[in-house]
Amino acid sequence: MKMMNRRRMFTRTKRIAIEKDYDIDLLLSIDHAEGLDNPSTYPSVTTRDYRVVFWVHPDDKLATSRDVGSPDPVWNQKCRMKLDNSRDCRFLYVEVLRYGSSSESNPGTSNGISLVGRAQIPLPNLSSKTDGRYGLVRPKEDGYKAEGHIILSMKLVKIDIM
């Protein structure tokens, strides 16, 4: 009997969940790329001046600074992107561009900018970090060709709104 009385004396504590408004930011670190414009495959490319353009939504494109020199450019740049909760946020889109003279660009481009490779990378889960080496593909007349890799890391973070 005492045991029953004892059980009745304990009460459960109720937790009240309070929903807060929050934003989601993407923390992105673009480190470097490897194997772009292989000199044996593209001997006509003399200017190796690269930049990464990236976005989650096409209206919100951002870019790294240019890196000049080798087929393995290094940017080591960090960025914080505010994501719009009302839009579809599943992928980070990345394009590596080469800036050079118009004679080195792809046919049809007169501004000297050539698309070297692109990738569509799934965003990580909220509060988890993803880092990796992601393959780039270059558009060709009959499809796509593998063209180097980009090394980056990203994390989605929740920012409480007061």
How far apart CA 78 and CA 28 sit, in angstroms, is: 6
Q: What is the domain extent for residue 72?
A: 21-160
Q: How many domains does the chain have?
A: 1
The predicted pLDDT at position 15 comes to 67
- The CATH number linked to 41 is 2.60.40.150
pLDDT, one tens digit per residue, over 49-84 is 899 999 999 999 999 999 887 778 999 999 999 998
Has this prediction a pTM greater than 0.85? no
CA 157-32-83 angle, to 5 degrees, is 25
In a domain, 141, yes or no: yes
The predicted pLDDT at position 18 comes to 58
In a domain, 82, yes or no: yes
